């Protein structure tokens, strides 16, 4: 479940709420009791960056076996060896 950030337009109180995506937004401020909460736009608290994320990492059973049968060729963006054409000649 995502964590949403809210701020009261009346008193400036800020809070975070763990809610389902299908839940209605909060409107009642717990600090002043007014119906002036607004949902804030914020960045995610984590990033998936770098290599190593493959579609087969979390597959199980038959799905993983099907993915393994396609793994005969090197992954896109990898080098096949030291004589790879992507390396500069010295």
Give the pLDDT score at 90: 46
Q: Which residues contact 1 (CB under 8 A, 6 or more apart)?
A: 18, 19, 20, 21
Domain boundaries, the chain: 3-39
Rounded to the nearest 10 degrees, how much is the dihedral formed by the CA atoms of 37, 39, 42, 44?
Answer: 120
Give every residue of the chain whose pLDDT is below 50, as ranges. 81, 84, 90
Give the pLDDT score at 62: 63
E strand segments, 10-81: 14-18, 37-39
Give the pLDDT score at 1: 79
């Amino acid at each position: 479940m995502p964590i949403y950030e809210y701020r009261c337009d009346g008193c400036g109180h800020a809070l975070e709420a763990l809610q389902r995506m299908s839940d209605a937004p909060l409107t009642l401020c717990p600090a002043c009791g007014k119906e002036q909460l607004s949902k804030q736009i914020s960045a995610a608290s984590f990033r998936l960056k770098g290599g190593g994320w493959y579609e087969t990492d979390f597959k199980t059973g038959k799905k993983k076996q099907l993915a393994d049968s396609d793994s005969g060729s090197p992954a896109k963006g990898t080098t096949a060896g030291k004589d790879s054409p992507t390396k500069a000649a010295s």
